[in-house]
Structure 1
Amino acid sequence: MTSLETAARIAEAALTYDAAEAGAIVRRLATPPSDRRWTSVITERGVVMASVSTRDPSVGHIDLLAVHPYAQGKGHGRELLDAAETWLRDNGVSQARFMGHPPCYGWPGIDVRYTAAACLAERAGYERYNVAWNMTADLSTDLSVEDDLVRLAAKGVTVHAGGHEKVAAFAERQWNRFWAWEAANASGLHYAERDGEILGFAAWGARPTWFGPMGTAPGAEGLGIGRVLLRLCLAEQRDAGQSHAQIGWVGPLRFYSRAVGARAERVFWLYRRELG
């Protein structure tokens, strides 16, 4: 068994709320953007993955920390955290965070239901400084868009699937290179255009099984493009075998609630501490 397979096995056993996708998350974290400095420490009892921020090299991220259930409560989590912090210090990091490192991340922070992880962070001197949340979309709901596609076509707007390369270029121009990476690495991607100009896009699967990111160009707001692209992606996730989809790191609660009846559900605490 390779070290990555060992890490996946440990994550699947330890991360009870994410067991179905834990292996995919480990593999995604092990294939980040080419400019990311990162490391992993993998033993038979646990795994930790850490990285240096590509926005601020003084900041480091604890991307994944998992201890196999048979070894929990014996100090192995703290040992792995210490190893990650040592590597971060050696790479010039002065502040470590339990916070997702976009664009390639597992979670926004520590899911509040992983109480042992939150306790470990607090015992190690991390302070809780922010909160993030996901919304859950029930994929058995109505996700039809036929009437919307007719309406958009009457306004000269067409909707397409795929186009990863040109959508990634659009996302980088309009927003940032992080969204561009997620668009390029998405499992599913839909975009709208008019007269050859992209107006908006939506993606899913860059973070395994989750929806996002999604964006509409300022000049195209008010056309209802976002709702259509969202529904197309969620329908694709349903066709891939999912019954629910997580909308990650949500900002506009009202939009997702009205568009697909999504509900706020998973809550994440973000932690940080200065490394002495």
Structure 2
Amino acid sequence: MSVEIIDLGSAPEPAVVDLCRRALDLAEDAADAPSILETLTRRAAAHRPVVLLGAIHGRDLVGVLVGSVSQRDPRLGHVDLVAVAPEERRRGVGRALLAEAERRLAALGATELLLAGNPPFYAWPGIDVRYTPAICAALALGHTQDRTAWNMTADLADGSAAVRPTDAAERRLAERGVTVRRAEPADVPALAAFAREVFGGAWDGELTGSVGRPDAGAHLAERDGVLLGFAAYGSSRPGWFGPMGTAPAAEGMGIGGVLLRRCLRDQWAAGLRSAQIGWVGPVPFYSGAAGARIERVFWLYRKPIGQ
């Protein structure tokens, strides 16, 4: 099938959102298409180079790709999203989009192409293993599986472990001089610095994207004005939790469980009945603290480009 690959600019039009709703086979992804595209384009473009491509057949938009350059390592190009109209699959649309993305990102200086999330603005850690056509395309185009990642789901129904009160645990922390409270915009510089210094990575950006937004938020723990931990939600989309971190010196005090459930209770109060804990590290912690279960598994791929 012959398609024309065009530049869609920096902001997704309604036709792009509609195509993604149809192309994302998992119901939760289709429902989140508007917020996913907002995160990957408008919000991300303020911090890093973003490529938004469309595949046109005749006069119809039949495919969309969002790519970007890592803001921490410009040698890394990312494919953040690929969506092909269901009726046009296995006709070379995805291959054409990926080939053009590879060319564009190489021109921006990337030497590796990752089919993986580009924090702090990402849709998924990688390719959900249930998106079989995407995995087939990655392998056919010479990508090598790099890592495996997973999300956990926390049930936010009334009475669930994830939304149980934290009052007693907060009183115990207060007896040890620890204050737990909601983070305010004035806290962002200190939170971002704490995240960078203690954990590295892109959590500072995710925290900045959570505090002060109506559909997102964060909570923190401190003692004598010194930060001990944080937890945030809504940076990627309203139904996702993360990131969360506790200073090594404060581990074992119960701070993480309190901060986690405070955030999950916010999401519950907003009407959500489940929350995705994204790109999880400590599975036993989230299972014990919130009754969360592993539900989504992602494969991450990479290949050298521009050589």
TM-score (norm 2): 0.85
Pair 1:123-2:153 in alignment: no
Matches within 5 A, 1:28-43: 28-30=39-41, 31-32=43-44, 34-43=46-55
> Aligned to 2:82, what secondary structure does the other structure show?
strand
Distance in 2 between residues matched to 1:33 and 1:238, nearest whole Å? 30
1:60, CA displacement in angstroms? 1.0
Pick aligned residue for 1:248 from 253, 278, 284: 278
CA contact (8 A) 1:45 1:68 kept: yes
1:105-145: CA deviation from partner (whole Å, max 9, x where unpaired): 11111000001111111111112121111111111213211
1:177 deviates by: 6.3
- Once residues 256 and 178 of structure 1 are traced to their aligned partners in structure 2, the CA distance between those partners, rounded to angstroms, is 21
Question: Where in structure 1 are there 5+ consecutive unaligned residues?
Answer: none
Report Cα offsets for 1:240-264 as digits up to 9, x if no partner: 2221111111111111111011111
Counterpart of 2:63 in structure 1 is 46
Picking from 4, 14, 17, the partner of 2:23 is: 14
Task: Assess if the C-alpha contact under 8 Å between 2:62 and 2:88 holds in 1.
Answer: yes
| Structure 1 letter corresponding to 2:49 | R
Instruction: Report whether the alignment pairs 1:88 with 2:135.
Output: no
Whether the 8 Å contact between 1:4 and 1:27 is mirrored in structure 2 is no
Task: Name the aligned partner's letter for residue 90 of structure 1.
Answer: A
Q: Distance in 1 between matches of 2:198 and 2:258?
A: 20
Q: CA deviation at 1:25?
A: 0.6
Question: In structure 2, what is the Cα distance between the partners aligned to 1:241 and 1:188?
Answer: 15
Aligned to 2:129: 112
What amino acid is aligned across from residue 52 of structure 2 in structure 1? Answer: S
Whole-angstrom distance in 1 between the partners of 2:144 and 2:203 = 28
Moved more, 4-13 or 16-25: 4-13
Query: 1:176-218 CA deviation, whole Å, 9 max, x = no partner?
Result: 3621111111111111111122211000111112110001112
4+ aligned runs moved over 4 Å, structure 1: none
Partner residue in 1 for 2:261:
231
Deviation at 1:89, TM superposition (A): 1.6
| Correspondence list, 1:169-188, <5 A | 169-176=193-200, 178-186=202-210, 187-188=216-217
What root-mean-square deviation, in Å, do the aligned CA atoms of Structure 1 and Structure 2 show? 1.6
Whether the 8 Å contact between 2:232 and 2:263 is mirrored in structure 1 is: yes
**Residues 12 and 37, structure 2, Cα contact 8 Å, conserved in 1:** no
The count of corresponding residues between Structure 1 and Structure 2 is 275
Aligned to 1:150: 171
Q: State the SS of the aligned residue for 2:202.
A: helix
The letter of the residue matching 1:213 is: P
Aligned-partner residue type, residue 19 of structure 1: A
Answer yes or no: is the 8 Å Cα contact 1:6–1:42 preserved in 2: no
Mark the runs of 5 or more structure 2 residues left unpaired by the alignment. Answer: 1-10, 56-60, 211-215
Asked if the contact 1:145/1:231 (under 8 Å) is kept, the reply is yes
TM-score between the two structures when normalised by the length of structure 1? 0.94
Give the whole-Å Cα distance in 2 for the aligned partners of 1:27 and 1:33. 10
Residue 65 of structure 1 is matched in structure 2 by: 82
Percent identical among aligned pairs is 48
What is the SS of the residue equivalent to 2:83? strand
Structure 1: which amino acid aligns with 2:271?
G
Question: Quick one: distance in 2 between partners of 1:14 and 1:194?
Answer: 48
